[in-house]
């Protein structure tokens, strides 16, 4: 398969001619990493993102011949809405990833009923500590504003979310541009993963990424790239 790869200081750029080819390639890379983790420690932990971009990737990954009964799937971030909401990342994952062979995976959602986002974040933080950290694979997305996970540029306590030394797993997010309160993995937990992929599509996202890695004010995605001990694998298609 023809593939363009450009290497940056803290990322590898992988470009594909179309979105189906990207989805297949990313699913293959993720499946390999999960299979390796299962062989090494008996379990693999995958954190995925929401939005409209990953649907084809989810479908491709769901059919991969992995020992899915040994895979734990969780979310990079989540809106403070129930799974029945069309804006729920858990709902998106259930409909697109937890299908076919991947039905056997264990899913750990972030949303549950709580009196408020702060209580939900504290409860999630305690519950997720029982998972076998660090994460084996994280698949991130990115918005046109350079946000990834729920690290919005206008988020309250953005510095706390992006603290690479944070001991928190989950934090609440309040940002006017987010639309509703959110729950997110902290940067510290994301960059500790064995494999980090950034999945973006379209010329607008390529332009946004190029702007984020250029000199100037640091966008949240650049904070992830800078803090990651290993290069982030960027997967892009027009």
Please check whether residue 224 lies inside any domain of the structure: yes
Place of tokens 């803290």: 10
Residue 38: give its domain's CATH number: 3.40.50.1360
Please check whether residue 153 lies inside any domain of the structure: yes
Alpha-carbon separation of residue 86 from 50, 95, 140, 149, 191 (angstroms): 11, 11, 20, 18, 29
Res 113: pLDDT? 87
Residue 179 structural domain: 10-230
Please check whether residue 210 lies inside any domain of the structure: yes
Neighbours of 11 (CB within 10 A): 22
Degrees to nearest 5, angle at CA 110 with 95 and 222: 95
> How far is Cα 5 from Cα 150, in angstroms, rounded to an integer?
27
Res 5: pLDDT? 47
Please check whether residue 116 lies inside any domain of the structure: yes
**Helices (DSSP H) in 42-145: which residue ranges?**
55-62, 89-96, 117-128
H-helix or E-strand spanning residue 75 = strand 71-75
Please check whether residue 238 lies inside any domain of the structure: no
User: What is the phi-psi region of residue 153: left when phi exceeds 0, alpha when psi lies from -120 to 50, beta otherwise?
Assistant: alpha
- In tens digits, the chain (238 residues) has pLDDT values of 333 445 555 999 999 999 999 999 999 999 999 999 999 999 999 999 998 899 999 999 999 999 999 999 999 999 999 999 999 999 999 999 999 999 999 999 999 888 899 999 999 999 999 999 999 999 999 999 999 999 999 999 999 999 999 999 999 999 999 999 999 999 999 999 999 999 999 999 999 999 999 988 899 999 999 999 999 999 999 9
Please check whether residue 213 lies inside any domain of the structure: yes
Instruction: Give the count of domains, the chain.
Output: 1
Res 3: pLDDT? 39
Res 7: pLDDT? 55
Please check whether residue 37 lies inside any domain of the structure: yes
Please check whether residue 216 lies inside any domain of the structure: yes
Residue 141's contacts (CB-CB under 8 Å, 6 or more residues apart) are 49, 50, 51, 53, 54, 148, 198, 199, 200
């Amino acid at each position: 398969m023809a593939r363009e790869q450009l290497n940056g200081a803290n990322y590898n750029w992988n470009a594909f001619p179309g979105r189906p080819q990207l989805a297949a390639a990313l699913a293959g890379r993720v499946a390999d990493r999960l299979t390796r983790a299962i062989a090494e420690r008996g379990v693999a932990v995958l954190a995925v993102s929401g939005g409209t971009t990953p649907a084809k990737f989810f479908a491709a990954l769901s059919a991969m011949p992995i020992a899915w009964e040994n895979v734990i799937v969780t979310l990079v971030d989540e809106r403070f809405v129930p799974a029945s909401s069309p804006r729920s990342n858990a709902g998106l994952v259930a409909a697109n990833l937890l299908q076919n062979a991947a039905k056997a995976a264990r899913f750990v959602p972030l949303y549950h009923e709580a009196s408020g986002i702060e209580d939900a974040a504290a409860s999630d933080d305690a519950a997720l500590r029982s998972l076998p950290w660090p994460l084996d694979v994280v698949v991130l997305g990115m918005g046109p504003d350079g946000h990834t996970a729920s690290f919005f540029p206008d988020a309250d306590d953005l510095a706390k979310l992006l603290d690479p030394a944070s001991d928190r797993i989950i934090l609440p997010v309040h940002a006017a541009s987010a639309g509703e309160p959110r729950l997110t993995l902290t940067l510290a937990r994301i960059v500790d993963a064995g494999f980090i992929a950034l999945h973006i599509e379209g010329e607008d996202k390529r332009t946004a990424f190029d702007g984020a890695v250029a000199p100037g004010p640091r966008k949240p995605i650049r904070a992830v790239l800078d803090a990651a001990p290993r290069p982030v694998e960027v997967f892009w298609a027009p």
